[in-house]
Amino acid sequence: MARITASVYTSHVPAIGAALDLGKTQEPYWQKVFSGYEYSKQWLRENKPDVIFLVYNDHATAFSLDLIPTFAIGTAAQYQPADEGWGPRPVPTVMGHPDLAAHIAQSVIQDDFDLTIVNKMDVDHGLTVPLSLMCGQQDKDSGAWPCPVIPFAVNVVQYPVPSGRRCFNLGRAIRKAVESYDEPLNVQIWGTGGMSHQLQGPRAGLINAEWDKRFLDRLIAEPEALAQVPHIDYVREAGSEGIELVMWLIARGAMSDHAPAVKHRFYHVPASNTAVGHLILENT
């Protein structure tokens, strides 16, 4: 049977992708951000999964106000990096895992979560920046990501957004789905986005380090209680884009009920407009 061995949590700031693509990683500003991922790249090399289930949000790239799925699972064989206005990032095509994705869709939908099935979509910085941070820069043509990826897009852009509780319970359903897949695959689940940031309006630039650090503590130690926090608290405390953090609860809900091993924790302000948070948890 397949199993979820570990979860990774990270911010997905688009400027991080630009810093990588434009060779700016050694600049003092960026060096501090990337220093938090040195251990992570080594860890991923040593703990290479067969599949990454990557929870992220689309930023009006693949979807628009024409069509807003709350939860969308990618069942395609491959996904192209999107053109977000400056041309597509020069990173490899993301290979999917249609068979496991279809199995998870079947199991999770039968478990009463309504997923949208997506057979064709481009993937934006929400997905490609976490891959770059964890895998290092890969050449578009000669490089490759280390394994297939199942993109799982969550609407946190257009209200109404899903609650933390629903996200946590969805994670549990994803765990059950993976554990009923009849092949011994090592699956990691990644939750991305956050931490505190607000990109527009009078509060643009908002960062709340205290709230972020408490979120990291609670995500590790008491995720089910953390999942009860209503969405309005994220917006008030962590800014309008801080709501991206509910996606971390999907990954956390997919972990075993035992306390996880904390392999890595990193927090840094700022990267662009955002507080960067990063965790690696292993199932014990």
Q: Which residues does the annotation mark as catalytic?
A: 125, 197
Q: Which is nearer to ligand DHB, 43 or 152 (CB)?
A: 152
The DSSP 8-state label assigned to residue 82 in this structure reads P
Strand partners, 71: 154
CB atoms within 10 A of CB 193: 28
273 near ligand DHB, rule: CB under 6 A: yes
195 near ligand DHB, rule: CB under 6 A: no
Q: Which is nearer to ligand DHB, 7 or 61 (CB)?
A: 61
15 near ligand DHB, rule: CB under 6 A: yes
Closest distance of CB 86 from ligand DHB, Å: 13
13 near ligand DHB, rule: CB under 6 A: yes
Closest distance of CB 93 from ligand DHB, Å: 22
> What 3-state class would DSSP assign to 216?
helix
Q: Which of residues 220-259 bind ligand DHB (CB under 6 A)?
A: 241
State the burial class of residue 213 (Cβ atoms within 10 Å of its Cβ: 0-12, 13-18, 19+). Answer: middle
Rg (CA), the chain: 17
165 near ligand DHB, rule: CB under 6 A: no
Nearest residue to 164 (alpha-carbon basis) of 246, 240, 233? 246
Q: For residue 241, give every residue at least 6 positions away whose Cβ sits within 8 Å of its Cβ, in sequence order, or none.
A: 193, 194, 197, 198, 199, 274
Closest distance of CB 68 from ligand DHB, Å: 16
Q: Which is nearer to ligand DHB, 152 or 181 (CB)?
A: 152
Q: Please, are residues 74 and 101 in contact by the beta-carbon 8 Å criterion?
A: yes
Q: Which of residues 34-93 bind ligand DHB (CB under 6 A)?
A: 59
Instruction: For the chain, give percent helix, strand, coil, nearest 5.
Output: 35, 25, 40
| Binding test (CB under 6 A) with ligand DHB, winner from 274, 276, 278, 280 | 274
Q: Which is nearer to ligand DHB, 212 or 241 (CB)?
A: 241
| Binding test (CB under 6 A) with ligand DHB, winner from 165, 166, 172, 197 | 197
Q: Which is nearer to ligand DHB, 173 or 249 (CB)?
A: 249
In terms of DSSP bridges, do strands 116-118 and 51-56 run parallel, antiparallel, or are they unpaired?
unpaired
Which residues contact ligand DHB by CB under 6 A?
12-15, 59, 197, 199, 241, 272-274
